Structure 1
Amino acid sequence: MTYVAKRTAGTAGAPLCLTFHGTGGSEDQFHGFAEQLLPGAHVTSPRGDVAEQGALRYFRRAAEGVYDMADLAQRSAAMAGFIAAEQATTTPAQTIGLGYSNGANILAAVAFEKPALVDTLVLMHPLIPWDPVPQPGLAGRRVLITAGERDPICPAHRTQALAEYLSAQGADVTTHWHPGGHEIAQSEVDAVAAFLRG
């Protein structure tokens, strides 16, 4: 599977950071942010290849919070192949994934199926409206989940359930909440920066 993607070449042996935009975003949404946070890293930002009323996404859905699970499975497998191909090109010391909203959801879905692909995950406002099966391969993965306490798209109880699931698999999970909704707050940006630099 090939995606339109923005790429910044890093130094030899540097981490590979993949960024995944939210619905209606593009490969530019977080590319520069990753470059700033991780100087010298390889940065790859694929563009979602599903259009929903003109807004780009990574998989189809029937309605808000109602996913086309067959399409998600197919596109998660395709994204896993894309990530593996990027790793083969860059041979990174570690792989970091950063996604927001729909981008966080495709990143999480890949991690549930192929946990060895991504070492560190930043999931900003994810919504996983199903119960993932146990995945022991997630043990030891570093995960940051950021969310809004009043997010109308990603209910807090679903965010909490995802954090508890990941912790139960042995992942090293950090959560950051802000008092707002689905928007990205400055405190979140600071939390992501501290997490990745730590």
Structure 2
Amino acid sequence: MSQDAYIHKLLPGEPGSPLVFALHGTGGDENQLVGFARELVPGATVVSPRGDVSEMGAARFFRRTGEGVYDMDDLARATAKMAGFVEAHVAEAKPSQVFALGYSNGANILASVLFAAPDRFDAVALMHPLIPFKPDVAGSLAGRRVLITAGRRDPICPPELTGRLDAYLRDAGADVRLEWHEGGHEVRPNEIEAAKRIFASKEQGQ
């Protein structure tokens, strides 16, 4: 898969720095999370792709037929494409660590890549993911740090599905941290601090 499989933004980092993939939510683009990713991992190289599916003009990474109802065939297509895109950039950059963060739809495609290719990332932050299906994890997630963030009153991502995703990942061996806030689908400061911690701890080998 080509490094140019997606329209994307690349923010070069320091030599030998971590590589961070930043995946936007529905309606975002390749610029949405670049600054945020650099804030989370200072000095890192950041790669941020734009979703290749349009939903009434809003960019997404895979199709859906309704709120929380995914086109599973298209999700499979998108997962393979994103896994290849990640692999191509990792091969080029040869980073010290590979991290990824995704918000909403970006978190969903990131989770799907994590299920399909557990060895692609050292640590990931899934911010307000919605996984309404039981994943088939292709291997072990042992040694992978995963942060899930969620709002207890999120109208898009029911708390029970967040808890179920947490259980799936733990069963696959991941080191999971779950960070809640009392609001909805918005990102709040405690989530940001949790993401900084999970990337910093992995980077330092703690």
TM-score bin (small chain)? over 0.9
Task: Tell me which of 170, 177, 180 is aligned to 1:177.
Answer: 180
Question: 1:4 matched to which residue of 2?
Answer: 7
Task: Tell me which of 115, 124, 127 is aligned to 1:124.
Answer: 127
Question: 1:50 matched to which residue of 2?
Answer: 53
Q: TM-score scaled to structure 2, two decimals?
A: 0.93
Letter in 1 for 2:102: G
Unpaired runs of 5+ residues, structure 2, are 202-206
CA RMSD of aligned residues (A): 1.1
User: Equivalents in 1 of 2:178, 2:56: separation in Å?
Assistant: 32
Residues 79-136 of structure 1: per-residue CA shift (max 9 Å, x gap): 0000001001100111101000000000000011111111101000000000112443
User: Equivalents in 2 of 1:13, 1:176: separation in Å?
Assistant: 30
Letter in 2 for 1:99: G
User: Equivalents in 2 of 1:84, 1:60: separation in Å?
Assistant: 23
User: Equivalents in 2 of 1:92, 1:10: separation in Å?
Assistant: 10
User: Equivalents in 2 of 1:98, 1:108: separation in Å?
Assistant: 10
Task: Tell me which of 173, 176, 195 is aligned to 1:192.
Answer: 195
Which portions of structure 1, spanning 4 or more consecutive aligned residues, are displaced by more than 4 angstroms? none
Task: Give matches, 1:1-198, under 5 Å.
Answer: 2-198=5-201
Instruction: Note the C-alpha offset of 1:194.
Output: 2.4
Q: TM-score scaled to structure 1, two decimals?
A: 0.96
Letter in 1 for 2:124: L
Aligned residues: 198
Contact map agreement 1:136 1:170 (CA 8 A) in 2: no
